[in-house]
Amino acid sequence: MSICQYPPRFKGLTIFGLLAPQQAQAHASEQGFVLLLPTDAYIAAGTACVALTVLLLALLPGSVTAALFRPVAFGLRIRAAGVAPIVSCLSCLLLATLVWAGLYGPRDPLTNPLPLAVWTVWWVALVTVQGVLGDVWRWLNPWTGPVAVTRRLLRLPVLFRLPAWLGQGGSVATFLGFAMFMLADPAPADPARLATVVAGYWLFTYIALLMFGPRWYWRGEGIALLMRNYASLGLFGATGGKPGFGLTGWQAVAHRVPRAGAAVFMVVMLGTGSFDGLNETFWWLDLMGINPLEFPGRSAVVKQNAVGLLVANAALVSIFGLTVWLGLRLAGGDLDPVRAFCLFAPTILPIALGYHVAHYLTSFLVDGQYVLAVMNDPLARGEDLLGLGTFYVTTGFFNAQDSVRIIWLSQAGAVVAGHVIAVAMAHAIAVRLLGDNRRAALSQAPLAVFMVLYTLFGLWLLASPRGV
Amino acid sequence: MTTGIVKQSGTTRRGAIKTLAAGAAVGSLPLWARYTQAQTSEPIRIGFQVHRTGIGAAYGRWYDRTTTAAVQRINDAGGINGRMVEVIAEDDGTDPKRGAEVVEKFASQHNCDIGFGTLFSHVVIGSAPRAGELKLPYFVVSEGHHVASGMLNRYTLQPGITDVKSQVQAMAPFIAGNLGKKVTMIYPDYGFGYDHRDNLKPAIEAQGGEVVGMIAIPPSETSFTKYFPKIPRETEVVYHVMVGPAVLTFVKELGEFFGPSRPEIFGFIDSLEAVDMASPGLEFLEGTYFWEGMPRYAQPDQTGHDKLYRAAVGVDDNGASVSDPKDVSTYAHMFGCWETLYVIKAGMETAGYQGPADRAKLIEAVEAMRHMPLSDEHPQGAKLFNGKTHQVFGPQYISKVTDGKLLVVHTTSIEDTMYPDEVDYTSQAF
């Protein structure tokens, strides 16, 4: 796609030919070293690891899989119910300050605290913490506190009832809206633009929560559902009214079966994460007719990314549904395919989390340094609060084969671990559903093939040359 | 804390906050006092169009670091016309459409005096027309031939870095005279490669040489072994300008193909800008030659100007960040920001620049410039500015990889880089 009348001449386009969605992608140079790594061997090993897990689970007694996800309860109970709204209000105040900084602070997205807070601290880091540890968003979200205070002060009743037929459709829609902004908007890191979007979304959700009550939080607010889903993977949670600890996914296995909308949402989380990697590859750019060495900028691919996001999600939902249905046919069960889809959808979550970690690890390594710089001198008064002294952001770790190998293997490890846990979760659910291990294994065959192929796809994404 | 991101933040973040505060304070003054205030303490605002995100981000980081260092030095020395310089950095996402929007913000939202700093050619080409419409002087640091070709407008200038046409043609005398007369070119099959293809061939022929092979590689290619057998046997010099993530693979495979008996090899450092020459796979480059815009490694005859510039930007003798020897800078290009800012300073001082009403005077002052001697302000080398084409000309460096470092073996004359004018911007009305 040509955006100018004359062929652009890229004096200065080097091996850095890459980007990611929002923050500086100075990490690009690691791509040259990645292409020199024996990634074919790594990919084969990672995929074999997932395949062997499938085999192992089929051979082991079903009780072993079930035991994997059995939590350990702590003795102590923590009562801090009244604190959550206060933390939420403080979180809202912090958000308001950040929005102010976005509107009136520096224009540079790596100097302004808002884009760093939203894309690096919240989206990359906090979402990961939520998925690894447990539900911190319940405390930190900027809505529940202010809504509770407003409702109390104004003695406001819930004005409207959210139609039941909507299910989690609102959540899917708002999350896709968020994903569209992140992936298809030309400038999601622009401080003023981001401030407007963040403030607008906060206000929209605040009003919706006042109008529809807490139901909106679980059925209309995409971020909340995303966070709740990731929290269900957390090592820490509640079991039998007590705090508990278990293997990643223990809460998701124990939770009641999600409704159809929530199940679709889980698959959309993975579809969005996968497209976020796919849309940067040479393969995708070639498909779009774009020279991968002269990417014309995000403005030129708004429609392609928007349509691609929707198509990728629709395709993944269909493939996943088909796989689950095929498995049930093989196992000879009489389970409703929709219910089966809902039963197995949570097994997608660890894969989505693995992709999230893998995809953003490199940008986090760089942008995390910019976050440190801002924290060192939050009011830009030349302070040195963290004692960093002279502090230059570096990308040197992308310039050496050894460090690039460690980074790549860490990313691949996250993807493979996500799939291994997903396979184990699916098996545990199948054993619980079908009773015996043989039928469970049979029902898992198509899903296992799907998981193995998706591992291959995920690792291929990491090893592929990228052009944006 | 004297340098680095903290200080850089100081220039941008602190600057922005100060401006807000100053704006609020000035707004509360009576009109006459406001006028006086503006005349005495309003900073010169330079809109820095920086590739913070997108494919140019790695360059953007170093352009930002160089700009910060230069502005700090200018301000430490009293600013421009007694006024401090404030940099307003806006990310263009390395995106031409956003580039035009950024230029518009500089002119209408941020009250910038000028726009500055754009590298990637497509962003320059997308932004320059808007700068022309808004009558905003737009100083680019792009190396593209688009300025001197006449494609742009009177408000767009490139006074701090030479263009690709002069760089390529200046290589021909050295290649034909020292490496060999039969040249095979390997280049990516699109605009960037065509710049080299179209400019080198006539220049080599003018030196009595011959381009015996032209191998265009599809941009999405990641393995190159199948192309190497196409290199004619009579080839004495391979001229390569491969770019993109597969460039390290290209070098490795080229080394494996030729083994110990290879022809001479000449490349542009653009391929390996910001890449550690000691990286595995690059051993094959030992004894090969590279164009460099400015020598990455401090040379035995290093000038005091280069020494001062390196220290100010925080770059060591190997061209890497002083805080991380693996963090190699874009040394061959980023000096352009430093030198351009000093041209702007000199132009504003000559024009007696007071504010946006003097923008045309500023352009005329820069157009009238001719010789820029080697100095702290021009550490890359002496320059010759062509006011008609708005393009600067200067020395180019040819370095040989020696013990894993780039050692300068030839410096071109400015005359080697000159070519006939293709436009006279001074004939265009403001």
Tens of pLDDT along B164-204? 999 999 999 999 999 999 999 999 999 889 999 999 999 99
- Residue A109 sits at the vertex; the CA angle it makes with A395 and A20, to the nearest 5 degrees, is 55
Weakly modelled stretches of chain A, pLDDT under 70: 1-29, 76-81, 333, 468
Q: What are phi and psi of B385, to 5 degrees?
A: -100, 135
Residue type at B348 in one-letter notation: M
B191·A9 Cβ contact <8 A: yes
Long-range CB contact pairs, B19-22, < 8 A, 24+: B19/B43, B19/B86, B20/A104
B142·A400 Cβ contact <8 A: no
A112·B13 Cβ contact <8 A: yes
Phi-psi region of B90 (alpha: psi -120 to 50; beta: other; left: phi over 0): beta
CA-based nearest residue to B62, from B294, B277, B350, B365: B294
B245·A396 Cβ contact <8 A: no
- Minimal Cβ distance to B53: which of A22, A33, A377: A22
Spatial contact of A430 and A380, defined as CB atoms under 8 Å apart = no
Which residue in chain B is spatially nearest to A386 when comparing CA positions? B6
Residue A133, domain member (yes or no): yes
Work out the average pLDDT over B413-419: 95
Tell me the residue ranges of DSSP E strands in B312-425: 320-321, 324-328, 371-372, 383-386, 391-393, 397-402, 405-411
Spatial contact of B183 and B168, defined as CB atoms under 8 Å apart = no
A18·B53 Cβ contact <8 A: no
Q: Which domain covers residue A294, as residue numbers?
A: 26-73+81-463
d(CA B138, CA B115): 5
- Residue B198: how many other CB atoms lie within 10 Å: 11
> Is residue B363 predicted with pLDDT exceeding 60?
yes
Work out the average pLDDT over B369-383: 98
Q: Which residue blocks in B314-383 are alpha helix, DSSP H? A: 331-351, 359-367
Phi-psi region of B419 (alpha: psi -120 to 50; beta: other; left: phi over 0): beta
What is each CA distance from A57 to A51, A63, A417, A442, B279, in whole angstroms? 10, 10, 15, 11, 43
| Residue whose tokens read 């091996």 | A15
Distance from CA of A4 to the nearest CA of B (A): 7
A390·B325 Cβ contact <8 A: no
Question: Strand, helix or coil at B318?
Answer: coil
| Token couple for B51 | 């590739």
- In this prediction, residue A6 carries a pLDDT of 29
| Token couple for A152 | 């109390």
Residue A276, domain member (yes or no): yes
CA-based nearest residue to B266, from B289, B292, B233, B250: B289
Phi-psi region of B289 (alpha: psi -120 to 50; beta: other; left: phi over 0): beta
- Residue A352 sits at the vertex; the CA angle it makes with A346 and A354, to the nearest 5 degrees, is 120
B4·A392 Cβ contact <8 A: yes
Is A44 in CB contact (< 8 Å) with chain B? no
CA-based nearest residue to A129, from A422, A360, A309: A360
Residue A7, domain member (yes or no): no
- In chain A, which among 224-263 make CB contacts under 8 A with chain B? none
- In this prediction, residue A63 carries a pLDDT of 84
- Minimal Cβ distance to A29: which of B5, B91, B275: B275
Q: What is the pLDDT of residues A398-419, one digit of tens each?
A: 988 899 999 999 999 999 999 9
- Residue A253: how many other CB atoms lie within 10 Å: 23
Residue A5, domain member (yes or no): no
Question: Strand, helix or coil at B329?
Answer: coil
What count of CB pairs under 8 Å joins A to B? Answer: 331
- Minimal Cβ distance to A25: which of B57, B96, B274: B57
User: What confidence category does residue B21 fall into, taking pLDDT thresholds of 50, 70 and 90?
Assistant: very low
Best of A2, A15, A34, A282 to mutate (most B CBs within 10 Å, chain B): A15
Q: Which residue blocks in B120-246 are alpha helix, DSSP H? A: 121-134, 164-174, 191-206
Best of B3, B18, B53 to mutate (most A CBs within 10 Å, chain A): B53
- Minimal Cβ distance to A10: which of B8, B191, B322: B191
Q: Which chain B positions have a beta carbon within 8 Å of A382's beta carbon?
A: 1, 6-7, 10, 14
Distance from CA of A278 to the nearest CA of B (A): 15
Residue A13, domain member (yes or no): no
CA-based nearest residue to A37, from B241, B275, B281, B219: B281
B122·A29 Cβ contact <8 A: no
d(CA A271, CA A281): 16
- Minimal Cβ distance to B13: which of A111, A295, A399: A111
A465·B245 Cβ contact <8 A: yes
| Token couple for A128 | 């990961």
Phi-psi region of A418 (alpha: psi -120 to 50; beta: other; left: phi over 0): alpha
CA-based nearest residue to A325, from A311, A350, A349, A344: A344
- Minimal Cβ distance to A10: which of B192, B252, B281: B192
Which residue in chain A is spatially nearest to B252 when comparing CA positions? A36
- Minimal Cβ distance to A106: which of B16, B122, B146: B16
Residue A6, domain member (yes or no): no
d(CA A62, CA B287): 64
R_g (Cα) of chain B, nearest Å: 22
Instruction: Provide the number of structural domains found in chain A.
Output: 1
SS3 annotation, chain A: CCCCCCCCCCCCCCCCCCCCCCCCCHHHHHHHHHCCCCHHHHHHHHHHHHHHHHHHHHHCCHHHHHHHCCCEECCCCCCCCCHHHHHHHHHHHHHHHHHHHHHHCCCCCCCCHHHHHHHHHHHHHHHHHHHHCCCCHHHHCCCHHHHHHHHHHHCCCCCCCCCHHHCCHHHHHHHHHHHHHHHHCCCCCCHHHHHHHHHHHHHHHHHHHHHHCCHHHHHCCHHHHHHHHHHCCCCEEEECCEEEECCCCHHHHHCCCCCHHHHHHHHHHHHHHHHHHHCCEHHHHHHCCCCCCCCCCHHHHHHHHHHHHHHHHHHHHHHHHHHHHHHHHHHCCCCCHHHHHHHHHHHHHHHHHHHHHHHHHHHHHHHHHHHHHHHHCCCCCCCCCCCCCCECCCCHHHCCHHHHHHHHHHHHHHHHHHHHHHHHHHHHHHHHHHCCHHHHHHHHHHHHHHHHHHHHHHHHHHHCCECC
> Is residue B288 predicted with pLDDT exceeding 60?
yes
- pTM flag (> 0.95): no
Spatial contact of B150 and B168, defined as CB atoms under 8 Å apart = no
| A273-299: b (≥16 Cβ within 10 Å) or e | bbbbbbbbbbbbbeebebbbbbbbbbb
Residue A8, domain member (yes or no): no
d(CA A15, CA B273): 8
A299·B57 Cβ contact <8 A: no
Q: What are phi and psi of A309, to 5 degrees?
A: -60, -45
> Is residue B72 predicted with pLDDT exceeding 50?
yes
Is A31 in CB contact (< 8 Å) with chain B? yes
Question: How buried is B292 (Cβ within 10 angstroms: 0-12 exposed, 13-18 middle, 19+ buried)?
Answer: buried
CA-based nearest residue to B64, from B9, B2, B132: B9
- Residue B314 sits at the vertex; the CA angle it makes with B311 and B319, to the nearest 5 degrees, is 95
Which residue in chain B is spatially nearest to A34 when comparing CA positions? B245
Residue A11, domain member (yes or no): no
Q: Which residue blocks in B11-95 are alpha helix, DSSP H? A: 15-27, 31-41, 57-76
Which CATH architecture best describes the domain B165-292+396-417? 3-Layer(aba) Sandwich (3.40)
Q: Which chain B positions have a beta carbon within 8 Å of A38's beta carbon?
A: none
- In this prediction, residue B263 carries a pLDDT of 96
Is A279 in CB contact (< 8 Å) with chain B? no
CATH number of B4-162+333-394: 3.40.50.2300
- In this prediction, residue A263 carries a pLDDT of 96
- In this prediction, residue B230 carries a pLDDT of 96
Q: What is the pLDDT of residues A196-219, one digit of tens each?
A: 999 999 999 999 999 999 999 989
| Token couple for A384 | 């040195």
Enter the DSSP assignment of B10: I
CA-based nearest residue to B130, from B151, B108, B153, B100: B100
Distinct helix (H) and strand (E) counts, chain B: 13, 17
Which residues have CB under 8 Å from A92's CB, separation 6+? A142, A143, A145, A146, A202
Q: Which chain A positions have a beta carbon within 8 Å of B276's beta carbon?
A: 399-400
CA-based nearest residue to A210, from A157, A174, A169: A157
Query: How large is the angle between the packed helices A302-331 and A437-463, nearest 10 degrees?
Result: 160
**Least confident interval from A48-62, B125-139, B206-220:** A48-62
Q: Where in chain B is the domain with CATH 3.40.50.2300?
A: 4-162+333-394, 165-292+396-417
- Residue B221 sits at the vertex; the CA angle it makes with B220 and B225, to the nearest 5 degrees, is 175
